Structure 1
């Protein structure tokens, strides 16, 4: 029996979207098989994906989202994934504002013609919420030779500000930080550097175990840390990963908001 899917990307961060009712016994194994960049499913000339979003409409007014990553594991939250889920759900719910239930909590979505906004929850520097293997926050301290600030924006992130993200060998520097002892559950590793519009971004994602074209929770992490360190004063911060531009709103009180475009890539069927 075949499994139907749709594929979306948010600023290059791409996902296979499946309904929970599809005949799949092990979604983790499904993600390992079909997200592989060399042998996975091919849509519009690109193989694989950054994850599988398993979705269901709940109660007629909200969508339930679970993300399975290319290594077979799960992530509690994914900003670009939630924006893709919102695009998928909007026409089924026939409304442009609704809630998305994630393991990280309830997130509200607003779907516009060109931009989809997701409330990302309140970021936390608390060691127990990241989590860290210590009782103090990690703010601009050396980890594996890099000045790191740690924050949870739905999942744990290590943020490193550099002069130019394009000059850093992310594939070499990120794994030691991602697996550092201070991060008992690991962390996504984000590089950020100043740009004309805000900050450029590159991210090594936990679970993907490599660089992705975009990371929504990482963009929020960069904006939140930049504000914490006094690098920006505005509540709205532009963050540009390789796949496009994202806008992050970081209010003094309340949840951060992630905004950006989403594109439909195609649909198809694969073996379970």
Structure 2
């Protein structure tokens, strides 16, 4: 992954480029072979790659995020999404542990017949809804995690908003403007306000709670919303720009992260870690 890629000056153009598939061919499989069911996506080859653990939302299977996971892999990330804690009484604390195990697998498992390796200094966590809150819990307890992104983050037990006060690494939080299950004012906004490190909160206008998910699923009958192309496109572009910058030293998407973009204006931001 090039660390010297030329910056894209316009946030619109940065979104157009980074929401498209990246330069890497992608492999995917099931990490159940090494003890954790779910989805694993990697570039076909690459040494010293950054890696991400991704947490699914409440009752959602990891395959509902396969397009996002494959997209991030196409930009040079190894991504492991656990398929655990999918029942109605999911344990947030155990899911946090599973996300940390996902990073262990990324670092220690033999990937791509030995053609892939992960740099343990370049690890991140992300997730949707419950998975986003659990990613915050993981970052508060695992010093290996160097960046965190959440999509329509939901509160957890223990509270992600309390754990955020212990997270000193960069955070990007995307809220859904029409979210009836995890509205920003009760979830993403308190998490961002408590964040101890550099943080940015954006609200995607007209997005629903399930707008970040892909395909059809029975939970659309009981939860709010359904998959939305526009919401997914914004998430792909913003998360790619964020993790490229924070984990790969690639600042080509800087304009997208520093400026408003249509449909996802910056709501809240601070850049210095708390004393």
- TM-score computed with the length of structure 2 as normaliser: 0.33
More helix by share: 2
Which has the higher Rg, Structure 1 or Structure 2?
Answer: 1
- TM-score computed with the length of structure 1 as normaliser: 0.33
